[in-house]
Amino acid sequence: MSRSSIFLSGLVLSFVSGVACAQDSPVPGEARGTIDGLPFSVALDCRSWDAEQRMVYSAGDNRSSTDANGDGVVFTFNHFAPAAMTDGTLTIDGRTIAINAGFRPGPDDPRWEVSDTQAIFSGPSFGQESAQVDITVDCAPRSAVTRGFTGRVTGTIDDQTVDEPLFCGNWNQPDAIEARTEENVGDAQASVFVMRSSGNGTVEVTTDKGEYQIVAAPIAGTAFDLGDDTVSLQADLTNRQTGNSYSVDLTFACKED
């Protein structure tokens, strides 16, 4: 069946348009090994591992190599195969260690060994901070739960069943509730955005039948039912293009353990 775009709403309200911001979920990995014989382990964000230029950084930090989360540990790794460029930097215990073979490595100098799921370096560091480094950057695929998809969206829309894992990392924001399924995975994709102050928000669902965009607002009679760890939407809606009517009954759940 060809995919079509179907726009559903009880009422499209201008104050809701544009409030739902893009969600991005980290892809967890780990850098582990020893520095001068002392073991260390750093949680990683591997979301760019499969890009042409692999860029990995310590979870909670950012690509500017700053300690954004304030834990005193910063790790970055870059690999660009077309230019044969690979390097890493680790800041830990007040030391910033350049993990690479230098500008003109000799044939016996240590080098990064990069595979589909990991990168390994063993040897002395390069630069002012000298250290013996043994490190493995592990970006092998993790399970959906490990990657933060700890919730679930269940229910029906337009007589189609929805039952998919949810990413819950943005659920407990002070001003909004957000959750979404994994992109291009499963039989359906869905997302929810709710403003805590007003209860207004949006639901977007993609199935084999098409794409559904629903605006919910209490003043329009299309409202969310908000629980401590659930967001539900039940409504009879009309396709604004075809005039066909159908129902939505979805529950987004992100329960804390």
Of all residues in the chain, the percent with pLDDT exceeding 90 is: 51
Most confident listed range (1-15, 38-52, 135-149): 38-52
Does pLDDT of 185 surpass 70?
yes
Average pLDDT score over residue span 80-106: 85
Is 163 or 1 the better-scoring residue by pLDDT? 163
Q: How do residues 208-257 score in pLDDT, each as one tens digit?
A: 888 899 999 888 778 999 998 999 999 998 877 778 888 999 999 998 65
Q: Pick from 114, 136, 147, 144: which is nearest to 47 by CA?
A: 147
179 within 8 A of 151, measured Cβ to Cβ: yes
pLDDT of residue 2: 34
| CATH of the domain spanning 4-23+148-253, picked from 2.120.10, 2.40.128, 3.30.450, 2.60.40 | 2.40.128
Strand residues in 49-141 grouped as ranges (E): 53-58, 74-80, 85-92, 95-99, 113-114, 118-124, 132-138
| C-alpha pair distances (Å), 53 with each of 24, 38, 78, 235 | 19, 30, 7, 45
Q: Are strands 53-58 and 38-48 parallel, antiparallel or unpaired?
A: antiparallel
Domain ranges of the chain: 4-23+148-253, 28-138
Does pLDDT of 191 surpass 90?
yes
